[in-house]
Structure 1
Amino acid sequence: MTPITIGADAPDFKAKDNKKQDIKLSDFKGKKVLLSWHPLAWTPVCTDQMRALETNFEKFQNLNTVPLGFSVDSQPCKEAWATVLQIKKVSLPSDFWPHGKIASDYGIFDETKGISARANIIINEDGKVQWIKVYPSEQLPDINEVLQVLSNNQ
């Protein structure tokens, strides 16, 4: 697994989210996009990671950033999970089919486990990878670190 490099063009994608909407990176030109990858829904650390996105949604908006909570779970799974977690503002796109293609395009798909790494990838307003951090799967990403990176690069 070799993550995409900083400065690279971010690969465009199209994925259905928890609200059954098509989400495309190219729709967010002029905004920063946070791809917050979690390995699997319904697990404790992933739950806390997605709740942190929802809790800080207004801060992301103030930083001209769209947070997206990605995983390889199916769209119906993401929809049910978002309902249980009461995630209403943040979009949770599914990288289910072709399985893990988007994670693979970003170099964070674990072929042996069939899941993505836990990672945060920031894409700038011009569609370039601005920042990437891959975490141990059991580690909750520090949302304040992500917000600080976004604040420093306005």
Structure 2
Amino acid sequence: MAEYTARITWQRQGEAFVDKRYSRRHDWLFDGGARVPASSSPHVVRVPLSDASAVDPEEAFVAALSSCHLLWFLDYASQAGWLVDDYVDDAVGVMAPNAQGRMAMTRVTLRPRVRFAGDKRPDSAEHERLHHAAHEACYIANSVRSEVLCEPSLVE
């Protein structure tokens, strides 16, 4: 078993707070030293109380799914002997009421575009197989109740 940690920090900075007019800007700190500026989503709390330039939890959720899928895909492609030149995923998450009527990330669609190099390149079926294997192995996708979709495309 492994544990993963993050420290989330926020300070009031002299704001009144009880009037609900306080900044939602905060920081995520990770054990490797990375500091990520974070905030509530401007879709949830309007600017200036949200910081649109910071990462919000909803974006982070989508990014975590996409990143996990990427890492497994690269591993499987490498094992199969395919030479991946680049991989770009414009992932999208949809926030909507779930079956219980609560707001939830109900669907995440991954749209990875992969460019392979070299003389030997996978056909569409092999490309799909690699993405299916990556999806099945992804720890994050295996951890959430949301539907997680993958719509890969090859880049020539």
Q: TM-score when scaled to structure 1? A: 0.22
Q: Which has the higher strand share?
A: 2
Indicate the structure (1 or 2) with the bigger Cα radius of gyration.
2
| Bigger relative CO (Cα 8 Å, ≥ 6 apart) | 1
Q: TM-score when scaled to structure 2? A: 0.22
